[in-house]
Structure 1
Amino acid sequence: MDEIRNTINTMLVNTFHEILELEEKAIITDKFRDISNNDMHIIEAIGEDSGARMTDIARKLNITVGSLTTSMNSLVNKGYVSRKRSENDRRVVNIYLRDKGLEAYEHHKQFHKEMTDALVNCLTPEELGVWMKSLDTLTEFFQSHREKTNENSVSAR
């Protein structure tokens, strides 16, 4: 059983690193060379939900609003996004993708479509069901682990 665990661990770690490396090479092209992979994920989190609130974007990315603000300043300066205060509640800042941001978003979305199509197109419906169940279990583990980590960091204060 240890051999199986080691093999699964190696596959997960390698897949994680491959996705990060390939994604960076695939989506940060000459056209988008002025942003980082992190910036692209912020653009993805804003997505088609233009007018998203900073707190909602930070929550999607599991980062603080303070960390997001630093990156958002850069994206505003580079012309990918714009900020606008809500007219109803001046404390609320809404984020909008500009044309350049929409173009980056579509480019990133296309990469993910190609990646998922490559997998979906080679699996039978039964295999796909098992694969999805496995990923769901892994996602639940990550969420549970994140909650425990958050509880530990709060109690350590």
Structure 2
Amino acid sequence: MDAYKTINDILVNLINEIWELEEKAIITEEFKDLTNNDMHVIEAIGPEEGNNMSSIAKKLNITVGSLTTAMNSLVNKSYVSRSRSEKDRRVVYVKLTEKGIRAYQHHEDYHRQMTEAILAKLSEDEIPVLMKTLDGLSEFFRGYSQKS
């Protein structure tokens, strides 16, 4: 099998497997009311305070309208709270509740385990090669999404 076909097969399968396995790993009994998309919105909000809807939508590369739909669901499920700015009532700030922080930490732990599993298989010399490869892949995805 040539390098192109091998790399293509690995990338396609890996992307699909990561999405499916992540959902199985992070949507536990405690977080069964969340979807994978919900968990990524929670990740984009993060544990720090002072995030407004526009900055979160930008991180996720979605519209504020789409984020509002997801946010309504997360507020109803008690993972997120919303408040309006005192200075500008048009600005809406969101923050994770205690339940949301637990979900965030659970998701972060899954990512930590995944990263540590990869690093454990690599020598010190191989790590920069993987980082360069993943950076190139990330650059491709960012460039491709900007074309759309």
**Structures share a fold, TM > 0.5?**
yes
1:76 aligns with 2:75: yes
Following superposition, the deviation at residue 146 of structure 1 comes to 1.7
Q: Is the 8 A contact 2:47 2:95 kept in 1?
A: no
TM-score, normalization by structure 2: 0.96
Query: What aligned pairs does 1:1-157 form with structure 2 within 5 A after superposition?
Result: 3-149=2-148
Tell me the amino acid that sits aligned with residue 46 of structure 2: G
- Deviation track 1:115-146 (CA, whole Å, cap 9, x = no partner) reads 00001111112111000000111111111212
For residues 13 and 115 of structure 2, the distance between their equivalents in structure 1, rounded to whole angstroms, comes to 17
- Deviation track 1:10-49 (CA, whole Å, cap 9, x = no partner) reads 1001111111111100100010001101000000000123
Structure 1: stretches of 5+ with no match in the other structure? 150-157
SS at match of 1:35: coil
Identity across aligned pairs (percent)? Answer: 58
SS at match of 1:31: coil
SS at match of 1:128: helix
Structure 2: stretches of 5+ with no match in the other structure? none
Number of equivalent positions: 148
For residues 74 and 148 of structure 1, the distance between their equivalents in structure 2, rounded to whole angstroms, comes to 30
SS at match of 2:2: helix
SS at match of 2:113: helix
For residues 110 and 74 of structure 1, the distance between their equivalents in structure 2, rounded to whole angstroms, comes to 23
Tell me the amino acid that sits aligned with residue 125 of structure 1: E
Tell me the amino acid that sits aligned with residue 7 of structure 2: I
Following superposition, the deviation at residue 73 of structure 1 comes to 0.2
Partner of 1:152: none
Tell me the amino acid that sits aligned with residue 64 of structure 1: T
